[in-house]
Structure 1
């Protein structure tokens, strides 16, 4: 009997061990899946910044092809369209200055050119420019909207594509004879072309910014002295280059040319000082008279930069608003300066710039984080990229802000012709707002 009891006890203990091992294994698997889902929505090293660090590059390479290419479904009342032509991870987008096109690039070795007039259509056709033996992580239109530049992921350089119309009306793309020479030693953050057409900018994650002429010759190099760069951009007016990074400041330089067109120098213009931690990103209004910054301190700030900086006048702070932010957060400011958009990982929020009120919130816009964010030149739409798609939203906060401003102007107007014109503009804006929220 003792032997039988001992055998029974042994079997019971064995069964318990098996059950415990199974439970532990199951819990580990649950934690692993949860960790992967959290990681996917962290938006690390995204954006117009491209592959920001070696760590981010490795993490991107480690994502399985299946996870990277899976299509993320998203709906929202303000979603005007989802542009789904890419077969790879979309890293960057840009609107042409004539308002007709949106360009997007992905790791599927293509740049897609979309027509903005099709945003509200059911079908969104696009033109495809192939990036031979490489893929583009960044894309920017030329001022005349007849060319665009790309940053090559493997070549670590700038490649120029020229756009031209064929006799049948279709578009063709021709690659410039030579890529720009290799000059950066760290991962690239951003590229840009001045609206004046006088220079091209490229910036990397160390402290380096290069100013190029259009033929690929370096005109000047800037050391930002910010430990590292987190974001760099050219102002819409084409006069300034600004950078932010480890320090709580945004530094702005003016790229100066002689009246005859020759490059002169790069000089410090002004700084934005007020955050208590490093700045993730910033954006200009269309006339460069305002800037918005988003920081690790959990706020965004709106600045008046229409100052006489050559007389040592500093920009002044207009608004400070709490917001959610994280590494890779981006900021966008509508062309008229009325609306601020902030990305935080997979999520997107829109604020009234004047009062700072939260107007709209879109959660889970992209599964793997938002990689680029910008308004179109008319201010009607806000676009962001990520996963295999570009999401285009109606800028309803912009319509509401414009209506409020025009109503205030109507109360103060004394000229009857001005009153009539404002009433018509208010009516048009109200109709556009009603159509956008249907």
Structure 2
């Protein structure tokens, strides 16, 4: 009986031992497998890391060189006075202060830079910096007192007014946002303007909408331009007019009227520039709004006399028609005195006098079309904003046109005293031109 019971007991003991042995063997194999997997993972992880480090080491120096090279301006021209550099992204617009002291630029990186016009020909250019919170500015215009400016916001698609603070010495200080206008435009705002009399602000969008605002952001009038779509809009330098161009072959000009007490009255049609056979890309005024220039898809640009009695239904006089040097959209700017016409097209700028003579095609100004061009208040400089730079060019055509006009006046002058004054002006203008073309400073031509 005892012998019979001993057999099952032995079997049970053997079975238990086998199970324990199997369990130990399983854990041993699992541990080895896990260790091998971890080693393999570490080995695999180390290879890409080393590879990435090697690639990073290889790319560090070339990447740095490429970045510096992309920030450098390679543009050179005999008219170039200097280049303003400071933005970290593409510049979208610029404007000159009415007091003639500053030019302001805005860029895609939300930055706002204000530059001194006195430093145009210096080697170093300081700027006052501001930023657009939570957005970026696409267009910018100074207020008449040069103490504020308005921008159109790229994302919010409305207007924000900024104030320019003052330091203890009276120089410009901090740039701070003051007020946002309500959003009224359905399509993208393509330009902003502020009247020189300070009575209103204009915005125009890419559909057919133009809005005249009070300086506090109230809508005074909404205009349907009937262009099918708008390509450009502006407030005249005299502050009396707003104008637009677009798909139709004309430029429409309205007068913004106020009562004697300064209250808004109405916006009424003043006159039109008619003569193009296709849509008008852009247009520009001279300083007193007596001259205008327009450029069209028909491949021509036209120069107009707008010193007319529009209230008597008098039409502008066409003074000259020229041919655009290149194809595609363009920007047009007139010098304050109306003697020089500048047209930016593709990556070039075409400059000539109001008769289409003394032509100069300045090529490869930027790597892409200029965002904005314009003459400073003195008319001595033509600025082109594009890429991350603003190139400052001497207005050589303007000097020559001034001398030519003075020579004509001298021939017509009756009195000796008058002739002598004109000759003095001719000598001064010629001396300035000679200094630009013959003098050097920081590698560029200069004029005092």
TM-score band by shorter chain is 0.7 to 0.9
Q: Bigger shift: 159-168 or 256-265?
A: 159-168
| Conserved? CA contact 1:68–1:88, under 8 Å | no
The answer for the alignment partner of 2:209 in structure 1 is 208
Distance in 1 separating the partners of 2:179 and 2:121: 38
**Residue by residue, what CA displacement relative to the aligned partner does 1:9-28 show, whole Å, maximum 9, x if unpaired?**
xxxxxxxxxxxxxxxxxxxx
What residue is the counterpart of 1:262 in the other structure?
263
2:342 counterpart SS class = strand
SS of the equivalent of 2:104 reads strand
Equivalent position SS for 2:330: coil
The verdict on how the C-alpha distance between 1:156 and 1:69 changes in structure 2, with shifts beyond 3 A counting, is farther
Q: Which residue is 2:113 aligned to?
A: 112
- Correspondence 1:50-129 to 2 at 5 A: 71-129=72-130
Query: Residue 174 of structure 1: CA displacement?
Result: 4.5
2:36 corresponds to which residue? none
Larger RCO (alpha carbons 8 Å, 6+ apart): 1
Deviations 1:70-96 (A, max 9, x none): 544100000111101111100101111
2: CA distance between counterparts of 1:293 and 1:427?
Answer: 33
Q: Name stretches of at least 5 consecutive residues in structure 1 with no aligned partner.
A: 1-64
Deviation per residue, 1:354-396 (Å, 9 max, x gap):
x212521110101021110111111101111110001111001
Residue 56 of structure 1: aligned partner: none
What is the rounded CA distance, in whole Å, between the counterparts of 2:430 and 2:396 in structure 1? 10
Q: Which residue of 2 aligns with 1:197?
A: 198
Distance 1:398 1:331 in 2: 16
CA contact (8 A) 2:232 2:244 kept: yes
Tell me what 1:435 maps to: 435
Instruction: Provide the alpha-carbon RMSD of the alignment.
Output: 1.7
**Aligned counterparts of 1:86 and 1:309: Cα–Cα separation in 2:** 44
Deviation of the 1:164 alpha carbon: 2.4
State yes or no: 1:179 paired with 2:180. Answer: yes
Residue 340 (structure 1) aligns with = 341
1:177 Cα deviation (Å)? 4.0
Q: CA deviation at 1:134?
A: 1.5
Structure 1 counterpart of 2:28 = none
Offset at 1:324? 2.6
Alignment partners' CA distance in 1, 2:68 and 2:122:
29
Q: SS of the residue aligned with 1:330? A: strand
Q: Does 1:361 align with 2:361?
A: yes
In 2 relative to 1, CA 254–72 (structure 1 residues): closer, same or farther, beyond 3 Å?
same
Within 1, Cα distance between the matches of 2:271 and 2:169? 50
Higher alpha-carbon deviation: 205-214 or 421-430: 421-430
Query: C-alpha displacement at 1:203, in angstroms?
Result: 0.4
Any unmatched runs of 5+ in structure 2? 1-65, 439-448
Tell me, in whole angstroms, the C-alpha distance in 2 between the residues paired with 1:280 and 1:375: 19
Alignment TM-score, normalising by the size of structure 1: 0.83
Distance in 2 of aligned mates of 1:85 and 1:207: 35
Return closer, same or farther for 1:177/1:114 CA change in 2, 3 Å cut-off: closer
Following superposition, the deviation at residue 172 of structure 1 comes to 2.1
**Deviation of the 1:328 alpha carbon:** 3.1
Question: Does the 8 Å contact 1:159/1:175 carry over to 2?
Answer: no
- Check whether the contact 2:164–2:176 (CA below 8 A) recurs between aligned residues: no
Distance 1:212 1:71 in 2: 41
Q: Structure 2: how far apart are the matches of 1:222 and 1:170?
A: 39
Mapping of residues 201-280 of structure 1, within 5 Å: 201-280=202-281
Deviation digits for residues 374-425 of structure 1 (CA, Å, limit 9, x no counterpart)? 1111110111111000111100100001001111111121222212211111
Describe the superposition over 1:309-344 as per-residue Cα deviations: whole angstroms up to 9, x where unpaired.
111111111000111344430001111111111111
SS of residue matched to 2:183:
coil
Aligned residues: 373
Distance 2:257 2:68 in 1: 46
**Structure 2 residue 393 is matched with structure 1 residue 390:** no
Q: Kindly indicate whether the alpha-carbon contact (under 8 Å) linking 2:249 and 2:280 is maintained by their aligned counterparts in 1.
A: yes
Structure 1 consecutive aligned stretches of length 4 or more whose deviation exceeds 6 Å: 65-69
The alpha-carbon deviation at position 106 of structure 1 amounts to 0.4
The CA deviation at 1:223 is: 0.3
Q: Which residue of 2 aligns with 1:305?
A: 306
